[in-house]
Structure 1
Amino acid sequence: RYREEAAEKQIAEDTRRRAEAAEDKKWIDLGRSPDVKNYVIQDIEAVGNYLIIKVSYPNCSRCSYSGNKVLVVRATMKDAVMWNEIDPHFKDPKTPKSRNQSPGPIARFPASPEGWQDALSYARSKNGSHLDA
């Protein structure tokens, strides 16, 4: 009985994941959600234990700021060189990820000069350093 229940749970989980993937693909195809594997890092800066990253998603023409995002993630430059996916969506930090995936952002800011400065200030405050660059 236990095996049957485990198999049913696995089938339900697989079905849910396929449905989520199909929904994500629909929004990506419409240009309203970034393709996490199709990006260009426009700028990146390390502030203590955090990276501020300006990422451009070419497929995301209908996203705000023409698909450009400013993200603050808890990671190092060494981590970032391994990534082949950068997902700008917030997610539970406990969600398992591979070494090739960025962690979810802890903050997002408008992809503007002011947004970049706000992201830097935020990362400095998280590190306990209020020094201006």
Structure 2
Amino acid sequence: MRTIVFTVLLLVGSNTFMTIAWYGHLKHKDKALLTVMLVSWLIALPEYLLQVPANRMGSDVLTGTQLKLIQEVVTLAVFVVFAWVYLGEAPTWRTAAAFALVVAAVALVRGEGKKPPEDDAPKVEASERTD
């Protein structure tokens, strides 16, 4: 459980940087496109420094699908707060409904769980062994 919490915290940090890099320049349209691209790239670097360890650590206890869906919930949550605080776009009931649908997707894959590596190996009966 601790691994999942730490993974989610890393994803929150990662997505905060990503959201700022991708959408922060929208309030600075007076700046040259090349300038905002370079600044966005520099802001995105810490995003990768958090995202890669989050996925690596999370993959020990979650499937890739579970990781991606958790990532989407975190991305949307971070973006809704960013859009409201920074861009002045208040969330609506449609925002809440869309968010609920993504959370439902996470709930659907939650029970799949990560299989131990030995479960993936083909089973060989004792009578079939040739050693």
* Interval containing the TM-score (normalised by the shorter chain): under 0.3
Normalized per residue, which structure has more helix? 2
TM-score, L = length of structure 2:
0.24
Normalized per residue, which structure has more strand? 1
Larger radius of gyration: 2
TM-score, L = length of structure 1:
0.24
